[in-house]
Amino acid sequence: MTVIETKAIYRDSPDYERARIGRVFNHRRPNRYPHAVVEATCVQDIVNAVQLAKSQNLRVSVRSGGHSWAAWSVRDNAILIDLGKYNFIEYDAESKIAKVSPRTTGKMLNEYLAPKGRMFAGGHCPDVGLGGFLLQGGMGWNCKNWGWACEQIAAIDVVTAEGIPLHCNDQENSDLFWAARGAGPGFPAIVTAFYLNTREYFEAMKNSTFIYPLSEYKTVMDWVQKAAQECDSSIEAVAVGIIDPQTKVPAILTSFVTFQQTESAALASLKSVNENHPPGAIFEALSQATSIANEYCAQAIANPEGHRYIAENAYIKNEADVTEVLRKAMTTLPEGSKSFTLWFSMFPGSRLELPDMALSMQSDHYMALYTVWEKEEDDERCTKWVRDVMREVERESVGAYLGDSDFQVRKTMFWGDEQGRRLGEVRRKWDPQGRICGYLDQGDKSGVEGLENVHEWQK
């Protein structure tokens, strides 16, 4: 048997637990134990780790940012390739393309790009690594108008399941490039670099926020859906069911962020929502100056470190009564938790034809539950609430987003029928033995077959 020279942290190492879960954001820690962890610092380390796995007939898992709610990177008896120490950001001023490591976060990239007058619509949470985020599609800043973040991938570098480095774009290894935009954790290779189209930095961002008591739920939800469709293309619109951190009382928050270059343009964009929002708000802040940096701070507060999380989501049918479908999710958050339920407008992008890529599931209305608590003793109560809510919501959905899903708990549709079939073919072509761990379903049994891509509740 060939002995592969590589830096691996094995289970008998005092550093093993840190390497296993030290970079896992969710403190509801997985009871799964990799055979070894390789903390890669270069492409050769990744190649060596794959060769090590092959020599021992083991699988490979990959960790970019560690923000997967279900900790997909932590797999039993696999070689975990942790990319936390594999860092680089480069920028080409002529092409306006940034080349980044998968571990790079949106916050890191935007801090690097801002002085150059550029930005990238990465994840809303500041510590989300671009690797998992982009592979899942990337529901980033102003996604409803700018499109999915993965649409801005110009090319990728990968290491295949056989340990071979490759470059992929729409002309070269194009099937892997197709899959990289929406395959999520089932991508049958290891991305080592993303080449990303950037956009102009916005000098004048403003935010209008309104908070209402639950008694105004229907009025507010009906209004925000209509307002979001009428806003111009500079505005990202959300509604959030929250537990007010000051009063501990449930409430409904609506937020409209505009990305503009001048203050006058930003004020004009927000004029309608400022003048026409429903009365009865218990808090309102009109056209407040903000920035990507400020928005990251707010997201960090909403998604605190050191907490236990369950995430769930659905794309609600366009024709559904969204206000009523989401009533329970928005208004019955677990008492004493820091949970919130998000409604995110996806219109008008949801009505446009997508590029030819694996990502293919969307609707006008995205909802996600982010159930957040601190004590292990609350696990069952919070988990039951999520199950009860989703049991009703899923029957009014067309599918779900990979990034806020846990395949161990609930299966549904994640791609269109044709894209799901094609993705399976690409996976079997490039990783016929299932070397890359793929989708973590119940018992971790999906292997090379992947997910069924069906509404499980209909079966």
Burial profile 108-133: b = 16 or more Cβ within 10 angstroms, e = fewer = bbbebbeeeebbbbbbbbbbbbbbbb
pLDDT at position 1: 38
Asked whether residue 157 carries a pLDDT value surpassing 50, the answer given is: yes
Domain match, 72 and 154 both: no
Domain match, 252 and 299 both: yes
**Domain boundary residue, one of 404, 425, 442:** 404
Eight-state DSSP code of residue 354: P
CA atoms within a 13 Å half-sphere pointing along the CA-CB vector of 97: 11
Asked whether residue 6 carries a pLDDT value surpassing 90, the answer given is: no
The rounded mean pLDDT for the chain is: 97
**Domain boundary residue, one of 34, 66, 82:** 82
Domain match, 137 and 274 both: no
pLDDT at position 5: 61
Residue at 409 is within a domain: no
**Domain boundary residue, one of 200, 234, 253:** 200
Asked whether residue 208 carries a pLDDT value surpassing 70, the answer given is: yes
Question: d(Cα 54, Cα 56) in Å, to the nearest integer?
Answer: 5
Q: By the 8 A CB rule, do 135 and 123 touch?
A: no
Question: d(Cα 129, Cα 67) in Å, to the nearest integer?
Answer: 7
Domain match, 232 and 185 both: no
Confidence of residue 359 (pLDDT cuts 50, 70, 90): very high
Domain match, 259 and 344 both: yes
Question: d(Cα 87, Cα 406) in Å, to the nearest integer?
Answer: 28
Strand blocks (E) in 265-378:
283-290, 308-316, 340-345, 365-373
Domain match, 301 and 351 both: yes
List, in order, residues 6 or more apart from 109 with CB less than 8 Å away. Answer: 89, 98, 100, 120, 122, 130, 196
- Number of domains into which the chain is organized: 3
Asked whether residue 336 carries a pLDDT value surpassing 80, the answer given is: yes
What CATH number should be reported for the domain holding residue 37?
Answer: 3.30.43.10
pLDDT at position 4: 53
Confidence of residue 246 (pLDDT cuts 50, 70, 90): confident
Residue 155 parent element (H or E): strand 153-160
| Average pLDDT, integer, range 12-28 | 97
Domain span at residue 159 reads 89-200
Confidence of residue 245 (pLDDT cuts 50, 70, 90): confident
- Using one digit for the tens of pLDDT, what is the confidence trace for 27-83? 999 999 999 999 999 999 999 999 999 999 999 999 999 999 999 999 999 999 999
Q: By the 8 A CB rule, do 259 and 234 touch?
A: yes
Domain match, 210 and 354 both: yes
Structure-token pair, residue 300: 């960090």
Residue at 383 is within a domain: yes
Q: Indicate the SS3 state at residue 13.
A: coil
pLDDT at position 43: 98
The values of phi and psi at residue 6, to 5°, are -155, 160
Q: By the 8 A CB rule, do 423 and 184 touch?
A: no
pLDDT at position 28: 97
Domain match, 69 and 112 both: no
What CATH number should be reported for the domain holding residue 302?
Answer: 3.40.462.20
Asked whether residue 111 carries a pLDDT value surpassing 50, the answer given is: yes
- Using one digit for the tens of pLDDT, what is the confidence trace for 167-193? 999 999 999 999 999 999 999 999 999
| High-pLDDT (> 70) share of the chain, % | 99
Asked whether residue 3 carries a pLDDT value surpassing 70, the answer given is: no
